[in-house]
Amino acid sequence: MSDISHHQAVVPEKLVQGKPHARGWNLAVLGVLPSWLLMGFALIIPILIIVAVSFSVRGAYGGFDWGFDLAGYKQILFNEGWSGEIEFTPQYLVIILRTLLLAGVTTLLCLTLAVPVAYYIASQPPFRKALLVYLVTLPFWMSMILRVYAWMIILGRDGPLPQFLQFFGAPSGLTLMYNDGATLAAMVYTYIPLMVLPVFASIEKLDGTLIEAAHDLYGSRWTALRRVILPLTAPGIASGAILVFVPSLGAVLEPILMGGGKQMMMGSLIQLQFGGGRNWPFGSAIAVMLMIFVMIVLVLIALRARRKEVAA
């Protein structure tokens, strides 16, 4: 009789304890459901559509027809000759390598310029620091195409920079437009705020006594930068490098407007396939390959950061 009464006392207690737990779990799921739906419609579904289009069949009059075909991926490296044989065509591989090189140089230049700028901002008093951060973010308040057109005026014929060079003996009518240098200058200007802000956030958290200790130990400014500042701000540098490198891979405006479209990049190649080329499967295949490469880079960076955390 005592065992029965003990069992009856225990079971209702478990049921009473389980209800709040289940209610809390349901509230947690329902609470984040709008976020999951938004991510699904805004991010996951468009990516799945692009992946599906990359495996589809090119339409007879452009666009695509639903089906399964690997022609879009084969076209990246191979092409069908006049007699029907498959030939290796490195032209698109050259475009991919050129894009990777330009994005890497853009990231390196942004990092080189952003570190001293971020360090200077972090060393200022609070009011001046807030003002300088505001000025760094100010270009984002204007349309990107207007910023690129501003650089077209600066570098174009009879622009301020060519006239400045003519003062030192450069030939008249000089233009600095429509080459890789102009494209690189516009990309660095466009993306450097994305590098300055995370590096500034890391330097601001840096303990200044460590830098003073490096100088007390007769370390030069270069030694303090190399042995103290850069290692301790590595997370911010990595975040800035990702924020600059990834959009640089898909840049379209700068190669077309500043480079004159002479050197094809991956972004302009994708835009061409969805426009005048009317080859949506091939354009989608290039976009998927670009996305896979970016994911591989991000995973490698995450694994490297994870190994450093474990080692620390």
**pLDDT tens figures, 3-13:** 444 544 444 55
**For residue 21, what pLDDT is reported?**
61
How distant is the alpha carbon of residue 300 from its chain centre? 15
Q: Token pair 């698109």 is at which residue? A: 92
For the chain, 312 residues long, give each residue's pLDDT as a single digit of tens.
444 445 444 445 544 455 556 666 666 677 778 888 888 888 889 899 999 999 998 887 777 888 888 888 888 888 877 677 777 888 888 988 889 899 999 999 999 999 889 989 988 898 998 999 999 888 888 888 888 888 888 888 878 888 888 888 777 777 788 888 888 998 999 999 999 999 999 888 888 788 888 878 877 888 888 888 888 888 888 889 989 998 898 888 888 888 877 778 888 888 888 888 888 999 899 999 888 888 888 888 778 777 776 776
**For residue 83, what pLDDT is reported?**
72
What does the alpha-carbon distance between residue 55 and residue 40 come to, in Å, rounded to a whole number?
Answer: 21
What does the alpha-carbon distance between residue 253 and residue 151 come to, in Å, rounded to a whole number?
Answer: 12
Cβ neighbours of 209 (radius 10 Å) = 9
Class of domain 98-272: mainly alpha
**For residue 105, what pLDDT is reported?**
94
For 48, residues 6+ apart whose C-beta sits below 8 A from its C-beta are none
Full-model pTM: 0.79
Q: Token pair 């995370």 is at which residue? A: 198
For 54, residues 6+ apart whose C-beta sits below 8 A from its C-beta are 72, 73, 281, 284, 285, 287, 288
What does the alpha-carbon distance between residue 56 and residue 281 come to, in Å, rounded to a whole number?
Answer: 6
